[in-house]
Amino acid sequence: QLNIASADFKVFAGHKEVGLFRTEGMYADRVPKMSDVVRSLKSSLLRAAGLTIRLFDPDDDKVRPEDAEKFAGKRGMGFLLETEAGSSIAREQIRALLIAVDRLATEGRVDLEKKEIRILLPMLITAEQSAELRKRFNAIEAELLADKTIHCVRGEKIEFGAMIETASAVMNLEEITEESTSFSIGANDLTRDLLAISDRRLLMTGQRYDWLSPKVLRAIERIIDVAKEKKIKVSCCGEISRDPMGAILLTLMGIDALSMDASYIPDINYVLSHLHFDEWKKFARKDEDGKSKVEKALAK
Q: Is 188 in the site for ligand PEP (CB under 6 A)?
A: yes
* Count of CB atoms situated within 10 Å of the CB of 248: 15
Contact of residue 92 among ligand PEP, Mg ion, none (CB under 5-8 Å per partner type)? none
Least Å from the CB of residue 257 to ligand PEP: 13
What's the half-sphere exposure (Cβ side, CA atoms, 13 Å) at 112? 18
| From 58, 186, 216, 239, residue interacting with Mg ion (rule: CB under 5 A) | 186
Contact of residue 23 among Mg ion, ligand PEP, none (CB under 5-8 Å per partner type)? none
Contact of residue 86 among ligand PEP, Mg ion, none (CB under 5-8 Å per partner type)? none
CA neighbor of 6 nearest in space, from 262, 269, 268, 264: 262
Q: Is 19 in the site for Mg ion (CB under 5 A)?
A: no
Buried b (16+ CB within 10 A) or exposed e, 8-46: ebebeeebebbbbbbbbebbeeeebeeeebbebbbebbe
Residues between 234 and 263 with contacts to ligand PEP, criterion CB under 6 A: 237-238
Q: Is 165 in the site for ligand PEP (CB under 6 A)?
A: yes
Contact of residue 22 among ligand PEP, Mg ion, none (CB under 5-8 Å per partner type)? ligand PEP
Contact of residue 238 among Mg ion, ligand PEP, none (CB under 5-8 Å per partner type)? ligand PEP
Q: Is 193 in the site for Mg ion (CB under 5 A)?
A: no
Segments in the chain forming alpha helices (H): 34-47, 76-82, 84-106, 127-146, 167-171, 173-176, 187-194, 201-204, 214-229, 244-253, 265-273, 277-284, 293-299
Least Å from the CB of residue 122 to ligand PEP: 7
Q: Which is nearer to ligand PEP, 141 or 189 (CB)?
A: 189
Sequence-separated (6 or more) residues with CB below 8 Å from residue 265: 2, 12, 15
Contact of residue 234 among Mg ion, ligand PEP, none (CB under 5-8 Å per partner type)? none
| From 92, 102, 189, 243, residue interacting with ligand PEP (rule: CB under 6 A) | 189
| From 4, 173, 187, 258, residue interacting with ligand PEP (rule: CB under 6 A) | 187
Q: Is 23 in the site for ligand PEP (CB under 6 A)?
A: no
Please tell me the distance from the alpha carbon of residue 153 to that of residue 102, in angstroms, as a whole number.
8
Contact of residue 237 among ligand PEP, Mg ion, none (CB under 5-8 Å per partner type)? ligand PEP
Please tell me the distance from the alpha carbon of residue 290 to that of residue 205, in angstroms, as a whole number.
43
Please tell me the distance from the alpha carbon of residue 119 to that of residue 141, in angstroms, as a whole number.
15
Q: Which is nearer to Mg ion, 23 or 110 (CB)?
A: 23
Contact of residue 179 among Mg ion, ligand PEP, none (CB under 5-8 Å per partner type)? none
CA neighbor of 236 nearest in space, from 199, 207, 264, 201: 264
Sequence-separated (6 or more) residues with CB below 8 Å from residue 140: 91, 94, 95, 98
Please tell me the distance from the alpha carbon of residue 205 to that of residue 68, in angstroms, as a whole number.
22
Q: Is 189 in the site for Mg ion (CB under 5 A)?
A: yes
Q: How far is CA 105 from the centre of its chain?
A: 24
Binding mask 201-240 for ligand PEP (x = CB under 6 A): ------------------------------------xx--
- Which residues of the chain form contacts with Mg ion (CB under 5 A)? 165, 186, 189
Which residues would be at the binding site for ligand PEP (CB under 6 A)? 20, 22, 59, 165, 186-189, 237-238
